[in-house]
Amino acid sequence: MSPTRTPDVLVIGGGIIGLVTAWRAAQRGLAAAVVDPDPGGGAAQVAAGMLAAVTELHHGEQTLLGLNLASARRYPGFAAELTDLTGQDLGYRRCGTLAVALDSDDRAELRELHALQRQSGLDSQWLSGRDCRRLEPMLAPGVRGGLRVDGDHQIDPRRLAAALLAACGRAGVVLHRERAERLTVAGDRATGVVTRSGAVLGAGQVVLAAGSWSGRLAGVPDDVLPPVRPVKGQVLRLSVPQRYAPFLSRTVRAVVRGSQVYLVPRENGELVVGATSEELGWDTTVTAGGVYELLRDAHELVPGLTELPLTETRAGLRPGSPDNAPLLGPTALDGLLLATGHHRNGVLLTPVTGEVLAHALVTGGLPEEARAFSPRRFAPVERAA
């Protein structure tokens, strides 16, 4: 597409959700553009990349589970397609997950999760503490039991973002490396954006995919502004020297004193430890307390971890929504669609989001599997009808 032609679709936000939307739209024959000062950045630069539909199941989130599983099923084909197209390795590792309990409260909670998983028809196996340690010898001797979930895998979100950026380039997606300052609306229709430098970018349709910032874009009418909020996550990266490999062979996670901790081992020796979950607005400070809690909890799980070099500490913002599920597709404002609110599941939901949004952009409607995630579920009553 020529940079001067008005695109069919302008995506606000060049994180993995915005990029997959633009890429899939371009594959469907739409002229697509993305506006973002740092395409390929965003929460994916912090996220661990667990594809944890089964181990992150929560009571009351069975509808979301359906979408999570639909996306997990797409992952093998999605990753293969991106790698074939770009030649880039995504760090997609079908290694499974082990969720363990360190005391009797944790064990009771894990038993509850197991019951919920079984009621939901999911594949998950209860193991004794000894069997957990047989699988993962670095686990603490005090581990009291665990759930083996062979279907919850991982991908490296930084590599995924880089590959999506390359795929967009190949598909002719135009990148505007600028911040979108305001949505423009003419009559009752979204028409594009004005950027921070004052450039006016018009488009046939606009997709707001700016993560937590989606709820702050000026010019979006109040009744369609997505109710997303930032949920801070602090994450650590360590490196496993060759002499310790394999340190862990799969993702290991637990709830320790009510906080989630997970250890995600990459094939390249990186070990990601996450994540805090903090309602602190726009703050992205890495704090001593956050790092201390993550290391303390991870050390209880895997004591040998304190020998490893600590290579990075970082904080990012998950786009939380009122029901923890994403907002996908058309809004009550013609020409404006949303792809935001993915909260803890942005990486997992990337494949299905791309397809759902491309479908919505081409047909004007949502496929059956995504109807429950329409932004209209949050619309004021008079506009929802």
Closest CB to ligand GLY among residues 13, 233: 233
Closest CB to ligand GLY among residues 318, 359: 318
**Judged by CB under 6 A, does residue 42 bind ligand GLY?**
no
**Judged by CB under 6 A, does residue 50 bind ligand GLY?**
yes
User: Residue 233 CB, nearest distance to ligand GLY (Å)?
Assistant: 5
Using CB positions, name the residue nearest to ligand GLY: 344
Q: Which of 274, 290, 335, 351 binds ligand GLY (CB under 6 A)?
A: 274
Q: Which of 176, 232, 253, 318 binds ligand GLY (CB under 6 A)?
A: 318
Rounded Cα gap, residues 269 and 348, in angstroms: 22
Contact 17, 211 (CB under 8 A): yes
Helix axes 16-27, 350-363, angle to 10 degrees: 50
User: Residue 43 CB, nearest distance to ligand GLY (Å)?
Assistant: 9
Within the chain, where are the H helices? Answer: 16-27, 62-86, 104-119, 129-135, 157-170, 288-301, 350-363, 381-384
What is the 8-class DSSP label of residue 59? T
Closest CB to ligand GLY among residues 348, 356: 348
* Residue pointed to by tokens 């450039």: 199
User: Residue 170 CB, nearest distance to ligand GLY (Å)?
Assistant: 29
User: Residue 49 CB, nearest distance to ligand GLY (Å)?
Assistant: 9
Residues 6+ apart with CB under 8 A from 356: 328, 329, 366, 367, 369, 370, 373
Closest CB to ligand GLY among residues 23, 262: 262
End-to-end CA distance of the chain: 38
**Judged by CB under 6 A, does residue 275 bind ligand GLY?**
yes
Contact 336, 292 (CB under 8 A): no
Count residues binding ligand GLY (CB under 6 A): 7
Rounded Cα gap, residues 86 and 165, in angstroms: 10
What is the 8-class DSSP label of residue 266? -
The pair of three-digit structure tokens given for residue 147, joined into one six-digit string:
């759930």
Q: Which of 233, 265, 316, 320 binds ligand GLY (CB under 6 A)?
A: 233
Contact 37, 310 (CB under 8 A): no
Closest CB to ligand GLY among residues 176, 344: 344
Residues numbered 325 to 344 that lie near ligand GLY (CB under 6 A) are 344
Q: Binding residues for ligand GLY, per CB under 6 A?
A: 50, 56, 233, 274-275, 318, 344
